[in-house]
Amino acid sequence: MLTDMYCYLEDKNKLALPSGTSNSANVFDQWLEPDRTAVACIDMHRGHVGEEKELTCPAPRARWRIPAHNMFHAACREIGIPIIHVQHWQRYGGIDDLHGRHDNRMANWRAMYELYLPPNSLMDQHSWEGTKWLDILVEEEEGDYYVRTKKRLSAFYPTDLEFLLRQMNVQNLVLTGTYTDACVLSSAFDAANRDFRVIVPRDIVAGYSEEVEHAALQIISLHLGLVVDAPALVREWYARKETDLPDGFADITEITESCGLLLDAVAA
């Protein structure tokens, strides 16, 4: 390690990553190599994080973190780490889920949400192509990539994300976006099972609640990958690239210390 790089075990116990010549130190050294890294930003579109009072599947905690996504992704692009926008994207009319013709029509998440979320007629149109709900609300730049065939929770199903990562010779996958406890967690499992090294900045991803965010990050930190603070990760990457840090990343722990949270009023 070129900096004081650390991770969190159980999303609470801060642990310095090993350095030196041991096998584990070599593994984590490669894990943090920026030239073999990409970011998959999951489902940061209007249906989840729009300003409208009514959304297809609201994720307000993720909306709060739009500035964190923008600041982190910009720092990644500056040193050549690609951003991949992965979207839950369904054919208009619902054949991929709600109106599927097989016996198990309706995805599990949709059925489960009806048990504890308020009734929401807009949810029928969640991620339907041709609707405004698929507008990406984090910053996009020329050179970003898009994966738009996600039909369930994982960014890998049924998409060509793995194919794209292999084509880019990526070994380390950083997950941003929403929900920490659903799509991020599911994608982390699938990435780890495909032997990608997983990294999750806990100050960027967001879930249904603080409690389930913590539970998901506990699982990830014990079994799937590194749970980190975004500024520490950026400092390690920039040290390896021998490049000056972008403004706002020095001497902070969580990225929101610099960019804040988007706690705006919900539109009428």
Written out in words, the top-level CATH class of the domain with range 6-90+136-259 is alpha beta
pLDDT given at position 227: 98
pLDDT of residue 20: 73
pLDDT along the chain (268 residues), means of 10: 96 91 87 98 98 96 98 98 98 94 90 94 96 98 98 98 98 98 98 98 97 98 98 98 97 97 64
**Is the omega angle on the peptide bond into residue 158 within 30 degrees of 0, that is, cis?**
yes
Question: What does the pLDDT read at residue 267?
Answer: 43
Each domain of the chain, given as residue ranges in start order, spans 6-90+136-259
pLDDT, position 137: 98
CA distances from 183 to 153, 206, 213, 237 (A): 5, 10, 12, 26
Distances 34 to 79, 102, 160, 188 between C-alpha atoms, Å? 8, 44, 22, 19
pLDDT at 265: 46
Look-up of token digits 């909306």: 63
